[in-house]
Amino acid sequence: MAVGILLVGGFGTRLLPLTKNTPKPMLTIAGLPVTEHQLAMARNAGITTVVLATSYLSELFIPYFGDGAQWGMKLLYAVEKEPLGTGGAIANAAELLDADEPVVVFNGDVLSSHNLSLQIRQHQENNADVTLHLTSVEDARSYGCVPTDSDGRVVAFLEKMESPVTNTINAGCYVFNPQVISKISRNTVISVEREIFPELISNKARLFGFVDNSYWLDIGTPKALLKGSSDLVSGVADSSALAMADVVLHTNQKLIMSRAVVDESAVIDLGSSIGAGAVVGARAHISGSIIESGARIGADSIVRDSFVTSGSEIAEKSKILASFVTKDEILPIPA
Ligand code: GTP
């Protein structure tokens, strides 16, 4: 069996101001934190022990996820006082795990339906040092691109570039042989993408690509965050976390979580989600938006393509288009 490390310690600067008080993986998509959807995916592949590698706003994870028993999992927490980078975070988190099982490392900002069980099996069959999930995108310019040879061996790990040599990119889910992790320097800031993978390749380590083009999305930008949520609501993407959660109503247009009070005359559509205990007033129209738990939307308001954070209030008759709404400010989402 394999164990997991979830990288959830980044600053999430591209999602400011949402990430001022909430770490990116704790932001709500389709009624639940991003991390909850990812843990469900790990569990489906038989991974029940996961270390959350936290740093920025680390204190916000434990009150929600606790020891993981509610999800039938064992969750552990590794806290970096200062972020150690993705490589340093993996080394730090692995200290909480037994040393002899494959370790699956997940970037904490990815929604993916790829076949993780098969990725782990191929890793074992290849006797690999690391097996990386790779996916194909139309435009690879904003991703690290990863060419492989005819045996599936990774031949290079290339940073973002104007003319990528392949459209196969790093999808942010790696199966590691634990001995490879044990060689990463402890308490050192180091990047798995920029330092560890290129070094392993130049040392002829056994790095394999696992190409799977199922649904995949990096939710690290404002538009992608909203898209990820509406994809989960509409069924373009699926998450078994929703089956275990307190969902009151789920159609392909809307998702309404427990204790939300939605006026009968309100219209909720285009993959919107209404978080637990949120209130939506009469004749409000919410389209393609995420309303987090406890937010209040006044009567006759229009909210479109927007993210309304926990506890925020929108006055009656407001018109909120493509914006982030927090308790302090309303900011247009950059184009
Ligand atoms: P941006 O600032 O918007 O780029 O977001 P980010 O800080 O999350 O960085 P990025 O998207 O590159 O990170 C990929 C994943 O690694 C995310 O899930 C981050 O939470 C995580 N991550 C990045 N740096 C660290 C770190 O130093 N420590 C830990 N524990 N996780 C990290």
Residue range(s) occupied by CATH 3.90.550.10 in the chain: 3-218
Task: Count Cα neighbours of 323 within 13 Å in the Cβ-side half-sphere.
Answer: 16
Q: Is 160 in the active site?
A: yes
The pLDDT tens digits along the chain (335 residues) read: 899 999 999 999 999 999 999 999 999 999 999 999 999 999 999 999 999 999 999 899 999 999 999 999 999 999 999 999 999 999 999 999 987 899 999 999 999 999 999 999 999 999 999 999 999 999 889 888 999 999 999 999 987 888 888 999 999 999 999 999 999 999 899 999 999 999 999 999 999 999 999 999 999 999 999 999 999 999 999 889 999 999 999 999 999 999 999 999 999 999 999 999 999 999 999 999 999 999 999 999 999 999 999 999 999 999 999 999 999 899 999 87
Q: What's the predicted TM-score (pTM) here?
A: 0.95
Cα(10) to ligand 1 centroid in Å equals 3
Q: Which residue has the tokens 């009624």?
A: 31
User: CATH top-level class for 246-332?
Assistant: mainly beta
Give the DSSP letter of residue 209: E
- pLDDT for the residue 142: 84
CB 273 within 8 Å of CB 293 = no
Cα(115) to ligand 1 centroid in Å equals 23
**Number of C-beta neighbours around residue 266 at 10 A:** 19
Please give the Cα distance from 142 to 297 (Å, whole number): 36
The topology (CATH level 3) of 3-218 is: Spore Coat Polysaccharide Biosynthesis Protein SpsA; Chain A (3.90.550)
- pLDDT for the residue 91: 96
Of 11, 26, 111, the one to substitute when testing ligand 1's pocket (max ligand atoms within 8 A of C-beta) is 11
Give the DSSP letter of residue 154: B
Take residue 63 and report the two structure tokens written for it: 């009150």
- pLDDT for the residue 159: 79
Listed residue (40, 175, 45) closest to 101, CA to CA: 175
Classify the C-alpha dihedral 161-167-172-177 as positive or negative.
Answer: negative
Q: Does residue 153 have its Cβ closer than 6 Å to ligand 1?
A: no
Indicate the helix (H) or strand (E) that contains 62.
Answer: helix 62-65
Q: What is the chain's Cα-based Rg? A: 20
- 26-43: string of b/e by CB count within 10 Å (b at 16+)? bbbbbbbbbbbbbbbbbb
Q: Does residue 220 have its Cβ closer than 6 Å to ligand 1?
A: yes
Identified catalytic residue from 20, 24, 81, 160: 160
Residue range(s) occupied by CATH 2.160.10.10 in the chain: 246-332
Indicate the helix (H) or strand (E) that contains 44.
Answer: helix 34-44
